[in-house]
Structure 1
Amino acid sequence: MNNKNSYVSGNRKRSWSSGNGGDENCIANRRRGLPIYSAKQRFLSEIRRTHTAIVIGETGSGKTTQIPQYLLESDLAGYGVIACTQPRRVAAITIAERVALEQNSELGDEVGYCVRFDDTTSSKTRIKYMTDGMLLRESILDPVLKKYSIIILDEAHERTVHTDVLLGIVKGAQEHRTHSIHPPLKVIVMSATMDVDHFSHYFNQAPVFYIQGRQHPIQLLYASEPQSDYIHAALVAIFQIHQKAPAEEDILVFLTGQEEIESLLKAVKDVAQDCPDDCPGVQVLPLYASLPPSMQMKIFNPAPRGKRKIILSTNIAETSVTIPGIKHVIDTGRVKAKSFKAGSGLDILRVQRISQAQAWQRMGRAGRESSGNCWRLYTEEEYENLKPNTVPEIQRSNLSSVVLHLLSLNIRDVLHFDFLDPPSKENLVDALNQLELLGAMQQRNNNELTSLGKQMSVFPLEPRLSKILISSRQYSCLDEVLAIVSMLSVESILITPNNKREEAHAARKKFLSSEGDHITYLNIHKAYRGVGGNKDWCHDNFINIRSMKQAEEIRKQLRDLCIRENIPRSTCGKDTTSIRKCLTVGLFMNAAELQRDGTYKTLDNNRHTVSIHPSSCLFQCKPAYVLYQELVHTSKCYMRNLCVVDPDWLNDAAPSYFRNRCISR
């Protein structure tokens, strides 16, 4: 490794000094001890003079928790609400809980949060933490967002689809309110790192403020030569640290996914058994999105006495969580990311190089509590060749939900919407075509939404699932479809521990359906409700209880929306044919046909060769026709979440779509 000392600092357009740490036992002292506190008065003075500001606050500066409170306490918000958006629901919830504590307020009174299917806010709420997706949904009913006096768009550097669309909508609402009877809207865009000039230019040369953080010195070490096997290089780096560093110095390793994490976890445990007697023991913990919450929370606990905590994580640990005790970060320089191919419905999931911005975020995890070390498993030259910023998600995603949202705001000319970084015209046209095929809009009528499209926009779901829910009226299966859609809207409901794979598969056999994964999910849901959501039952059947509880809450709220939209409650009992016909109405564009050679080909214009994903209950089967929820390209092109269908149902669901497509009967 090459040594390179790096201290988090930077040169921005305006710089404020940071403060020293305070007494952690007292909330008031702790707030005064945050770096942003010494900049409070100057910050407020600047915000009073401008309608828009870009705030760069280094990791640990306190910007996310303190700035909304400063704005409230200074009466800058007037009678309006302060919204602070977050890309992830976990962040919105945990930050709101923290700020409510600092305000000595019950959660839901002065401070609350609003995430999909979970809203703790009330008429008394003045600081509202929310996901950017929820503020987007509010904009459908209130395009100028008049209930808000200040909108803070936090973690803007993550550039999620929702964040990018929200930037355009908030900018438009702000401009509208400067020429209307509504009070002006202040907008603050915040991040730990971003292309500030790009954001400033987008918001009409808005001033950029830099708040120095409480980042401790970090020693940066590069690989002396490129690493062909970064997993092995990570293993070597772990034990280089382990044999020299004190036991209380924990290690965080960034990997790309569950499979890599489980593989390295086993390797670390095996090698640790052969370490010298004077080496500390190891506690190796995984961290990835689909991990059960009880296992995720273990990373926050101190390691047992005499042991070192080694955390193997995906990029979930880059920004959304701060793990105490981390002294060493090992950055493999890779991430697993999706990109959408317009016209094919193909999500390509591949391991790729991170951006320089991601590399700095990862490095920052090592300096939260004290000085630390970051081991980059790539050379300095490789770092210099990385893209400065991550490609925005909006340029590599299916945009049908985005376009439906814009049309519901009566923004017809979506091709010329004021995006910060416009997606390709091909992706936007593809989204328009998808919505027209679903019956949601008519391009010949200037992209006007149909009555079905207006109803689809009410549901916080992707358009295909919204149409399935609405179509349940025709097939008298609302109860069943609600259960299926809610379970498709959460993280994986199935837990398959690496050391208990056979046991997990055996336990789940009783739920499997020869009609596909959707009916399997329905069987699991019925069984779960049959035992009253029993925790032990979930454990014994390798079911993620947190995901099931979340799915139940989603089901209830979707049912309330159905009642509001006059979709009557109905059940088809054991008639799963009605359910599969209903699924066909929304997923007909995702159909595949078995070929004579045993492979499948999609029935769209591209005729992709596809395979059934190994996780599907149909993996060992060969039904003639299937619907799939998504296509994912890893080692090859896989169909995920499948349903067996009849070819006649496809023709009935979309006769014009299949008119020129050969379907055997």
Structure 2
Amino acid sequence: MGLASNYIYIDYIPITLSPPNPSKRTSQRNLTSVNNIQRRKLLIRLKKKRMSRFWKPGTEKPQLVEDEEGGVLFFSASPSSSGYGHANLEKQRQRLPVYKYRTAILYLVETRATTIVVGETGSGKTTQIPQYLKEAGWAEGGRMIACTQPRRLAVQTVASRISEEMGVKLGDEVGYTIRFEDVTNNELTRIKFLTDGVLLREMMDDPLLSNVIMVDEAHERSLSTNIFLGLLKKIQRRRPELCLVISSATIEAKSMASFFNNRKKECRDFGNLEQRNLSSWRMKKAAFCSSPPLLLLPGMGTRTSRQRLPLYKYRTAILYLVETRATTIVIGETGSGKTTQIPQVSTWITFIERSWMGRGWTNDSMYTTKAFGCAVSSLFGIQTVASRVSEEMGVKLGDEVGYTIRFEDITNNELTRIKFLTDGVLLREMMDDPLLSKYSVIMVDEAHERSLSTDILLGLLKKVLSCMCLVISSATIEAKSMASFFNNRRQGRDEEENGPSKEPAILSVEGRGFNVENFYVEEPVSDYIRAAVSTVLSIHDEEPMGDILVLLTGQDDIDAAIQMLTEDSHSRKKGLLILPLYSGLPRADQDLVFSPTPRGKRKVVISTNIAETSLTLEGVVYVVDCGFSKQRFYNPVTDIENLVVAPISKASARQRAGRAGRVRPGKCYRLYTEEYFMNEMSPDGVPEMQRSNLVSCVIQLKALGIDNILGFDWPASPSPEALIRALEVLYSLGVINDDAKLTSPAGFQIAEIPLEPMVSKMILASNDYGCSEEIITIAAVLSIQSIWFSVRGAQKELDEAKLRFAASEGDHVTFLNVYKGFIESGKSSNWCHKNHVNYHAMKKVDEIRKQLRRIVQRLGIALKSCEGDMQVVRKAITAGFFANACRLDAFSHNGLYKTIRSSQEVYIHPSSVLFRVNPKWVIFHSIVSTDRQYMRNVISIDPSWLTEVAPQFYQHQKINPRPL
């Protein structure tokens, strides 16, 4: 452990990690500290190294170790052999998580009247616990183990499975009883499965029942289950030797333990076990047992791979720091597991706390459910990570684990405990709930990307840290500067004593441990796409098997690279599986990237920088880094925001190299020189806050009640020119007044619509022009990347398809024609395929449109159609995008336009239906820069509309922008 002034660095979990002083509770949520866990009476905490062996009566007894509090039990045992003849089934049993806990289970059943086993789905509790009990002798001497299930099908299936594992005939040693069907043998059956209803009927004839009763899936709490649990509690008073095991995946263990509380139990003597078998064990009275023990089991899922992650051994440190620090910064190399494991670690300890105290990181002191919120900057990363975490936890995506992105909410208000969301969505949630009261912990992942929303979010979270705990994770962020930003020494004495420390903690987690060799080109390459393709083919020819990840700048680059590879006859014969990866890719195609590589194939994933962070592509051994990425740069002087291809930073280069070597030592081929990397490449990228249009940022802060924008505590201060320009645009849109406050109702309405302010203004204006239905459709289309489906080598067919829908007014009206055709076709995928329209994109447009209709209705905007009058549609668009007006240069013959405000030279993009049509006056939605600055999504306008919709922005005489 290294110390520095103001910060704490933890490079490894010290065994002597001290828990917080119990006399000074650090927080009302001080529930996950090591001390509190140890103080949980009779709570079983099982360590991997101590539970890797199986104990069986007649062998060396388990070594029981108690801590100073006497409340934490550890076990170790000697190995034993199994008598099963089915080796393959035995191996499967040993892989189940419950296998390593069998010693503890047997010990608890011996010593406690009631044992509660909470095991995730797939832990093996249902099939294995009955077998462990039988092996330990609980079914000897004519005794029986009874196991209840809430459903008939489960009874039959589980009984059949266990009989197969034991190598016995179903109905002999293992049987089942359901209504009107009894598959048991009175003389032979020792493990009997039955529904809870059948058990109730058996209690009528034999009220004292079997020796061990296991109530499985108790969380379903059927009527019969509730009745016989009450009866079992009474039976235990008359039969002290009766043992009850209650198992479930999600049961509220605290209330169940409280229900069966205060029981005395006859416990078996763990004396000289080597000299006696189970039937001859002596009995003696045990001490008073205050509560049934709770045993927590992990799920099967990907537990083994999770334990191999470097972050796994830091889980105790993370819990301790989150408990005692308001802000925890976790620096973990690529592949350390920080994104997927930190939320699960917090949830694991939460489950213990919820079971025992009704409190925890997702339960406050008033038993109100709270969530762990994880903000991710990448839209694509959210869906993938949420899916991965739900799979590891063995739960359905949308229940305990969910995600929320713009226009898509896959969560359950009652069940969701881990919620992944974009930083932009979290910002919008703060508009309704500034203190984020439904979250106990917020984790900002991949903070080094420093997106615009991330910087705003960090500034706002700093203000509300007294209400929650913050975890910031990254692979390359400058930890000291981030810790300095959150370090708040000006705090009251009471706050210092009673709340978590404001001094941020920094936890450093190592990566996977495989070395990655970096290779550089000797001379700069002139065509990085062709160089990347050539490198892929060379790797395939010369290097051992292992998947390849190629990082390019965008979809156009990816399509070009794939075309080159597929057209190469040499590569077609060599078994390359070539897959694209970018944000607009359909989900089914995205999933192919994460699926195992077929035998005899080498997977080549060609991706944008979305594969640089958050996502883990198992099997990648080689990385080809082009050295560029697409970034947005805003010039407040020209008022143009360009999406340009720009060099990456050293931090990004290290991230990309880290994608290699996940399964063995890897190699990274950098398509730039070593001299450039060492001497010219920027150490860190420019924060998006300092290179973006701040219009959306300012309106969000205004909506959150932050009027002094210049005085806001930014992690990276924005350009004053950009802030002033944003205020000018918002004023001209009618969003703020002369005092720079939101206008009512227009300003607040625009802030509430989850779109960029210009699009929101366009929707608001449609109410005046009577075309809200059409404008909502256009807004929905503008919210996605593209509605067209491009196929390599089929550009001519795509152009012909566009002509079928092309409108003389421009792209926006063309979008209306496409949507109309989609609806008239019955939302047919065949229609989309025939017309080169992206079916998944159109489905998304339809979903967004429905949500926008609900929003505008709530805002009091009437839903009206203009019935084909496209002039009012274009006027409404002009009302939102008047600042993006351009005029055709009268002296140009190559389609040159100049912006009205700054006389910047721009051209209509070749993908536009107005390409080569060249109307005199147009308005564009965005600018993209390649060899020229191109306008995308263009529509023609009448210049007189500019002074009509924005008289405060344009002068009538010259149609020039009026200085503000």
Q: Tell me, yes or no, whether TM beats 0.5.
A: yes
Q: Per the alignment, do residues 550 and 500 of structure 1 end up closer, same or farther by CA in structure 2, a change over 3 Å counting?
A: same
Residues 158-194 of structure 1: CA distance to partner in whole angstroms, max 9, x if unpaired?
Answer: 11111111000111122xxx3xxxxx31111011221
Match of 1:136 in 2: 427
**Correspondence for 2:951 among 633, 655, 661:** 655
Shift of 1:471: 1.4
Letter in 2 for 1:173: V
1:74 and 2:369 matched: no
Shift of 1:418: 0.9
Q: Per the alignment, do residues 572 and 660 of structure 1 end up closer, same or farther by CA in structure 2, a change over 3 Å counting?
A: closer
Q: Per the alignment, do residues 106 and 335 of structure 1 end up closer, same or farther by CA in structure 2, a change over 3 Å counting?
A: closer
**Correspondence for 2:313 among 38, 49, 62:** 38
Letter in 2 for 1:157: H
1:641 and 2:934 matched: no
Shift of 1:294: 4.2
1:284-323 superposed matches below 5 A: 284-302=578-596, 306-323=600-617
Shift of 1:573: 1.4
Q: Per the alignment, do residues 661 and 27 of structure 1 end up closer, same or farther by CA in structure 2, a change over 3 Å counting?
A: farther
1:286-435 superposed matches below 5 A: 286-302=580-596, 306-385=600-679, 386-435=681-730
**Correspondence for 1:445 among 739, 742, 745:** 739
Matches of 1:14 and 1:158 in 2, distance apart?
Answer: 23
Structure 2 counterpart SS, 1:264: helix
Does the CA contact (< 8 Å) of 1:412 and 1:448 recur in 2?
no
Structure 1, unpaired ranges of 5+: 1-11, 179-183
Matches of 2:706 and 2:793 in 1, distance apart?
Answer: 52
Letter in 1 for 2:479: V
Q: Per the alignment, do residues 308 and 66 of structure 1 end up closer, same or farther by CA in structure 2, a change over 3 Å counting?
A: closer
Match of 1:258 in 2: 555
Q: Per the alignment, do residues 263 and 114 of structure 1 end up closer, same or farther by CA in structure 2, a change over 3 Å counting?
A: closer
Structure 1 counterpart SS, 2:660: helix
**Correspondence for 1:94 among 374, 384, 397:** 384
Shift of 1:233: 3.2
Q: Per the alignment, do residues 36 and 300 of structure 1 end up closer, same or farther by CA in structure 2, a change over 3 Å counting?
A: closer
**Correspondence for 2:468 among 185, 197, 200:** 185
**Correspondence for 1:65 among 321, 335, 340:** 340
Shift of 1:38: 1.6
Q: Per the alignment, do residues 271 and 113 of structure 1 end up closer, same or farther by CA in structure 2, a change over 3 Å counting?
A: closer
Matches of 1:434 and 1:387 in 2, distance apart?
Answer: 32
Q: Which stretch shifts more, 418-427 or 104-113?
A: 104-113
Structure 1 counterpart SS, 2:403: strand
Match of 1:240 in 2: 538
**Correspondence for 2:507 among 193, 196, 209:** 209
Q: Which stretch shifts more, 371-380 or 430-439?
A: 371-380
Match of 2:395 in 1: 105
Letter in 1 for 2:630: K
Shift of 1:411: 0.8
Shift of 1:357: 0.9
Q: Per the alignment, do residues 23 and 646 of structure 1 end up closer, same or farther by CA in structure 2, a change over 3 Å counting?
A: farther
Matches of 2:459 and 2:505 in 1, distance apart?
Answer: 18
**Correspondence for 1:631 among 903, 918, 927:** 927
Q: Per the alignment, do residues 263 and 82 of structure 1 end up closer, same or farther by CA in structure 2, a change over 3 Å counting?
A: closer
Structure 2 counterpart SS, 1:114: strand
CA RMSD of aligned residues (A): 2.4
Matches of 1:15 and 1:594 in 2, distance apart?
Answer: 61
TM-score scaled by structure 1? Answer: 0.91
1:565-644 superposed matches below 5 A: 565-598=859-892, 599-644=895-940
Shift of 1:121: 2.3
Letter in 2 for 1:257: G
Does the CA contact (< 8 Å) of 1:17 and 1:212 recur in 2?
no
1:157 and 2:448 matched: yes
Shift of 1:264: 3.0
Shift of 1:545: 1.6
Between the two proteins, the alignment pairs up a number of residues equal to 639
Matches of 1:335 and 1:584 in 2, distance apart?
Answer: 32
Q: Per the alignment, do residues 229 and 88 of structure 1 end up closer, same or farther by CA in structure 2, a change over 3 Å counting?
A: closer
1:549 and 2:843 matched: yes
Match of 2:410 in 1: 120
1:507 and 2:801 matched: yes
Q: In percent, how many aligned pairs have the same letter? A: 40
Match of 1:268 in 2: 565
Shift of 1:272: 4.4
Match of 1:6 in 2: none
1:536 and 2:532 matched: no
Matches of 2:533 and 2:408 in 1, distance apart?
Answer: 41
Shift of 1:304: 5.5
Letter in 2 for 1:143: P
Q: Which stretch shifts more, 150-159 or 341-350?
A: 341-350
Matches of 2:614 and 2:314 in 1, distance apart?
Answer: 24
Q: Which stretch shifts more, 315-324 or 361-370?
A: 315-324
Matches of 1:313 and 1:448 in 2, distance apart?
Answer: 41
Does the CA contact (< 8 Å) of 1:337 and 1:351 recur in 2?
yes
Matches of 1:375 and 1:555 in 2, distance apart?
Answer: 44
Match of 1:48 in 2: 323
Residues 120-171 of structure 1: CA distance to partner in whole angstroms, max 9, x if unpaired?
Answer: 2233222211111111001111222222221111111111111111000111
Residues 359-417 of structure 1: CA distance to partner in whole angstroms, max 9, x if unpaired?
Answer: 11111111222221111122222112311111111111111000000111121111221
Shift of 1:23: 6.6
Matches of 1:494 and 1:236 in 2, distance apart?
Answer: 30
Matches of 1:606 and 1:274 in 2, distance apart?
Answer: 49
Matches of 2:95 and 2:450 in 1, distance apart?
Answer: 35
Letter in 2 for 1:497: V
1:223 and 2:498 matched: no
Q: Which stretch shifts more, 229-238 or 156-165?
A: 229-238
Letter in 1 for 2:477: M
Letter in 1 for 2:924: Y
**Correspondence for 1:168 among 455, 459, 462:** 459
Does the CA contact (< 8 Å) of 1:23 and 1:30 recur in 2?
no
Shift of 1:210: 1.0
Shift of 1:242: 1.7
TM-score scaled by structure 2? Answer: 0.63
Structure 2 counterpart SS, 1:119: strand
Letter in 1 for 2:326: H
Q: Per the alignment, do residues 218 and 23 of structure 1 end up closer, same or farther by CA in structure 2, a change over 3 Å counting?
A: farther
Matches of 1:82 and 1:293 in 2, distance apart?
Answer: 26
Matches of 1:661 and 1:292 in 2, distance apart?
Answer: 49
Letter in 1 for 2:801: A
Shift of 1:301: 4.3
Q: Per the alignment, do residues 563 and 71 of structure 1 end up closer, same or farther by CA in structure 2, a change over 3 Å counting?
A: same
Matches of 1:301 and 1:49 in 2, distance apart?
Answer: 40
Structure 2 counterpart SS, 1:514: coil
Q: Per the alignment, do residues 531 and 402 of structure 1 end up closer, same or farther by CA in structure 2, a change over 3 Å counting?
A: same
Does the CA contact (< 8 Å) of 1:16 and 1:212 recur in 2?
no
Structure 2 counterpart SS, 1:457: helix
Structure 1 counterpart SS, 2:826: coil
Matches of 2:323 and 2:13 in 1, distance apart?
Answer: 20
Match of 1:13 in 2: 9
1:146 and 2:429 matched: no
Structure 2 counterpart SS, 1:621: coil
Q: Per the alignment, do residues 320 and 54 of structure 1 end up closer, same or farther by CA in structure 2, a change over 3 Å counting?
A: closer
Does the CA contact (< 8 Å) of 1:218 and 1:374 recur in 2?
yes
Shift of 1:329: 0.8
Q: Per the alignment, do residues 230 and 17 of structure 1 end up closer, same or farther by CA in structure 2, a change over 3 Å counting?
A: farther
Does the CA contact (< 8 Å) of 2:528 and 2:626 recur in 1?
yes
Does the CA contact (< 8 Å) of 1:516 and 1:642 recur in 2?
yes
Matches of 1:345 and 1:364 in 2, distance apart?
Answer: 37
Which has the higher Rg, Structure 1 or Structure 2? 2
Matches of 2:418 and 2:551 in 1, distance apart?
Answer: 34
Matches of 2:658 and 2:571 in 1, distance apart?
Answer: 32
Shift of 1:507: 2.1
Does the CA contact (< 8 Å) of 1:439 and 1:450 recur in 2?
no
Shift of 1:271: 4.2
Q: Which stretch shifts more, 471-480 or 455-464?
A: 471-480
